[in-house]
Amino acid sequence: MLTNYKVDLDAIATSFVNALPKLDSFEQHLSIELYRLLAGGQPVPCALLAKRVGVVIEKINPILKTWPGVFFDSQDQVVGYWGLSLPASYESPHKMTIDGQTLSAWCEGVKQANPADAQMSFLLPDAESTQKDILSAFCCFVHFFPSRKAGENWVAQHDGTFLLSIEQGLAVAHRKNMAQYGNVLQ
């Protein structure tokens, strides 16, 4: 995947997708709709999600309970999902604003990188570990650094990690989403 700072972005994205649950067509739609509802800035009742995808709640509950990276509040409403959460449920230094709602992001797009040589660490996720606990098996290994040198010091201390430029990280995210969601995003 990594040789003298050259990376195979498609291979990285494929490895990432392979570590996540395989989504059938219904699950792809369910996933996208959950993102849409969560972006509204409020906890998502499972009954509302079921209504939005046109099924009974009994069909979605078993799916949501087995997906990694789905977090519920005490009322069994979704408050966090694969990289997006309500700020009160998961405090993150990464924020995003959607239609006036500020949300915590585990990962996000890039408007500007400052300094220009900013880098990010990455780890090819292991499927079993990632599906048990995506935060400790993957997310805690993705960090941003002001320079390649600063990043190299960190990855030297964390086996299996490597550096990507911010643009490469965004490209991996786009490729991962296209591979995971396919036509649902078009």
Percentage with pLDDT > 90 across the chain: 48
Residues 123 and 169 reside in one and the same domain: yes
Residues 74 and 29 reside in one and the same domain: yes
Residues 134 and 97 reside in one and the same domain: no
Higher pLDDT, 37 or 144: 37
Residues 154 and 96 reside in one and the same domain: no
Distance CA 183, CA 178 (A): 8
Domain span holding position 57: 25-105
Residues 132-180: tens digit of each pLDDT: 888 888 888 988 899 999 999 999 999 999 999 988 988 998 898 888 8
Q: The CATH number of the domain where 39 resides is what?
A: 3.30.450.410
Residues 10 and 74 reside in one and the same domain: no
Query: Alpha carbon of 92 to those of 16, 89, 95: distances in Å?
Result: 22, 10, 7
Domains held by the chain: number? 2
Residues 9 and 30 reside in one and the same domain: no
Taking residues 43-56, what's their average pLDDT?
A: 97
Residues 91 and 30 reside in one and the same domain: yes
Q: Which of 81, 105, 129 is the last residue of a domain?
A: 105
What pTM did the predictor assign? 0.76
Residues 8 and 37 reside in one and the same domain: no
Are the C-beta atoms of 148 and 117 separated by less than 8 Å? yes
pLDDT of residue 5: 56
- Over 80: is that where the pLDDT of 35 sits? yes
Q: Which of 64, 85, 105 is the last residue of a domain?
A: 105
Q: Compute, in degrees rounded to 10, the torsion defined by CA atoms 29, 12, 94, 100.
A: -30
Residues 71-100: tens digit of each pLDDT: 999 999 999 998 889 988 877 777 778 788
Q: Which of 105, 121, 137 is the last residue of a domain?
A: 105
- Of the pLDDT bands very low, low, confident and very high (cuts 50, 70, 90), residue 127 is confident
Count of CB atoms within 10 A of residue 142's CB?
A: 15
